[in-house]
């Protein structure tokens, strides 16, 4: 998403020229002619960067007042004074009020664009967590009662991939944390696989026992039937002898 730059300039032609030049280089712009108008807009939404003239219509030092108000709203918002006033007193006053840069209106467009890009880079670096903060957060995650190894690996990856390289001590610590988290994750995955295999073995053993019990039950039924048939066969075989005995007795 393109950055939004506020231009506070009371001269309509200059204001339009700045806006057109910045838009051609991919920036969004919002333009204001006076301090009150700009403050009302900033109360709703702050820009990503503000370019301010010092003299705003009837307010000789309106830009200074606007800078002071903006800095009270945000300690990190990049602010550039772009003005015709070039005295040391004005330059020092503007910077002391919180501006990040002070340029005069005879500055070339490439120079202005380079200053704006530099301020955006500085703001992005300040907003991003530093290598030390990443390593400290990774260490806290690694040493927690329930270590979050995925978080550790995510935190140390930018430190190890940074160019130019991070400080040797930080890289060494990041490498140690990465190795520890990777090894612990491998162990955890191996344990999970072993547990899954153990459960599968238990299920298979249970299935084998069930099959064996079913087979034994069938065998018992067959044995019972065989015994019954054997008894019937003996009974039938003994019956003629019993008949002969009866006839002799009679």
> How many residues would you count in the chain?
250
C-alpha 151/C-alpha 146 separation (Å) is 12
The pLDDT of residue 44 is 92
Per-residue confidence (pLDDT) for residue 86, from 0 to 100: 93
**Beta pairing, strands 4-8 & 49-52:** parallel
Q: What DSSP state is assigned to residue 26?
A: T
Q: Which pLDDT value is given to residue 75?
A: 87
- Predicted confidence at residue 128, as pLDDT, reads 62
The predicted structure's pLDDT at residue 184: 84
Q: Are 5 and 31 in contact (CB under 8 A)?
A: no
Residue 52 backbone dihedrals phi, psi, to 5 degrees: -125, 135
Rounded-to-integer distance, Cα 193 and Cα 191, Å: 5
Q: What is the pLDDT along the chain (250 residues), one digit of tens a residue?
A: 689 999 999 999 999 999 999 999 999 999 999 999 999 999 999 999 999 999 998 999 999 999 999 999 988 899 999 999 999 999 999 999 999 999 999 999 999 999 999 898 888 766 666 777 888 888 888 887 777 888 888 888 887 887 666 678 778 888 888 888 888 888 878 777 777 766 666 777 777 778 777 777 876 777 777 677 666 666 766 665 555 555 555 5
pLDDT confidence of residue 248: 56
The per-residue pLDDT for 167 is 74
Q: Tell me, what's the pLDDT at 134?
A: 80
Note if the pTM is more than 0.75. no
């Amino acid at each position: 998403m393109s950055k939004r730059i506020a231009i506070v300039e009371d001269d309509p032609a200059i204001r339009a020229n700045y806006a057109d030049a910045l838009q051609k280089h991919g920036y969004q712009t919002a333009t204001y002619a006076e301090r009150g108008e700009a403050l009302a807009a900033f109360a709703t939404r702050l820009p990503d960067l503000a370019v301010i003239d010092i003299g705003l219509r009837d307010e000789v030092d309106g830009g200074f007042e606007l800078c002071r108000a903006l800095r009270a709203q945000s300690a990190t918002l990049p602010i550039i004074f772009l003005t015709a006033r070039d005295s040391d007193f004005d330059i020092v006053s503007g910077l002391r009020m919180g501006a990040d840069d002070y340029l005069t209106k005879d500055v070339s467009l490439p120079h202005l664009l380079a200053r704006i890009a530099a301020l955006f880079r500085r703001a992005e670096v300040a907003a991003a967590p530093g290598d030390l903060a990443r390593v400290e957060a990774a260490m806290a995650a690694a040493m927690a009662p329930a270590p979050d190894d995925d978080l550790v690996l995510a935190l140390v990856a930018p430190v190890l991939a940074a160019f130019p390289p991070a400080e040797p001590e930080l890289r060494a610590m990041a490498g140690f944390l990465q190795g520890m988290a990777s090894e612990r994750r491998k162990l955890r995955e191996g344990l999970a696989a072993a547990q899954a295999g153990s459960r599968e073995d238990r299920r298979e053993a249970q299935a084998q026992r069930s099959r064996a019990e079913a087979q034994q039950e069938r065998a018992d039924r067959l044995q019972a039937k065989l015994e019954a048939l054997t008894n019937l066969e003996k009974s039938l075989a003994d019956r003629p002898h019993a008949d002969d005995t009866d006839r002799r007795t009679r």
